[in-house]
Amino acid sequence: MKITIVGYKKEAKFSQGVVNDEDTDLIDFLTGKGLDVVSTIWNDDMVNWSSFDVVVIKSPWDYHNHLNEFLNWLTGLEKLDVKVLNPVEIIKWNSDKHYLKDIAQKGLPVIPSGYIERGGRFDPQFFDQFNTNKLVVKPCVSAGAQNTITVDKNNIEERSVEIKELLKEQDYLVQPFVEEIKEGEWSFLFFNGKYSHCSLKTPKQGDFRVQHYHGGSISYPTPDPLHIEQAGAYLKSLPQSTLYARVDGVLIGNSFHLMELELIEPYLFLNGDKNLLENYYQALLSLIS
């Protein structure tokens, strides 16, 4: 069985602050287990995708900048007799943050969300809708806090001009600024629906972006079993099993609230840990056997 771990044409901004090459660690571990695994780049025209039995979408970190091409590539994979992990249907759904509306409609705790369609205008009524003095506005298709801005009642005029320009390109998501983000964003990692480990990403002083390339820090606390259970509930709502899932959110009171459900290209915080790599391997085996 021939397997490929799919990545992207690497850019330094995505790997800044990362101390190990997670994809290489993973491929080396899986190869050591006797699997036939190679790395590929999702938009490399020289790759013959039909030569693989399993295509694992691991780290196409630039997909959001080439969305139509990425979606067309996924459609092409569907037409081939190959197994794609995560499933194509799940990845397409997860590529646009309108999916948060679907999850909220199932009664699961999600940070309240509103949407501004492409070509629309920012409405100050969002402040009243969410009963807040500060909002976060981000693209519906994005990664790494790209084009994510905050708006409050003091800078609304200048921000509205900026948002109007951004809305010429795509739809945007509006959410209340959640103060709990200052205490960190929890990431719960699941492989084939089974909990593996977690991380806590904390923004640097004066910022709200938790990504390491924006100065955020990462720790690995032991989570409350209740919060693991709460995070796992989002996966149970999905129509198909996933090889990997990272459930990102904040604790409000003692309850986990979803910010993002990462099913396309999340960094998995494997950190070369053989136990965590083993968790991934066992999940992969169960899905391809």
Within this chain, domains 2-95 and 114-177 share the same CATH topology: no
| Among 107-111, 134-138, 202-206, 261-265, the least confident range | 202-206
Per-residue model confidence as pLDDT tens digits over 205-234 = 755 555 655 566 899 999 999 999 999 999
Closest CA relative to residue 170, chosen from 152, 153, 146: 146
Residue 13 has pLDDT above 90, yes or no: no
Per residue in 6-16, is it b (16+ CB within 10 Å) or e — as a string?
Answer: bbbeeeeebee
Rounded to whole angstroms, the Cα distance separating 130 from 123 reads 12
Q: What is the pLDDT of residue 146?
A: 76
Give the fold, CATH level 3, of 2-95: Rossmann fold (3.40.50)
* Average pLDDT across the chain, whole number: 92
Q: Where are the domains of the chain?
A: 2-95, 99-108+180-271, 114-177
- pLDDT tens digit sequence for 120-132: 999 999 999 999 9
pLDDT for 142: 84
| Residues written for the chain | 289
For 114-177, CATH gives 3.30.1490
Tell how far CA 28 is from the center of its chain: 24
DSSP letter for each residue of 44-113 = -TT--GGG-SEEEE---TTGGGSHHHHHHHHHHHHTSS-EEES-HHHHHHHTSTTHHHHHHHTT--B---
pLDDT of residue 157: 87
- Answer yes or no: is pLDDT of 57 > 60: yes
| Cα–Cα distance measured from residue 287 to residue 289, given in angstroms and rounded to the nearest whole number | 6
Residue 289 DSSP symbol: -
pLDDT tops 70 at residue 253: yes
Share of the chain above pLDDT 90, in %: 80
Arithmetic mean of pLDDT, 181-205: 92
Q: Does domain 99-108+180-271 have CATH number 3.40.50.300?
A: no
Identify the DSSP state of 141.
S
Place of tokens 């995560």: 86
Of all residues in the chain, the percent with pLDDT exceeding 70 is 92
CB crowding 213-229: b at 16 or more within 10 Å, else e: ebebebeeeebeeebbe
Please tell me which residue, 216 or 193, carries the higher pLDDT value: 193
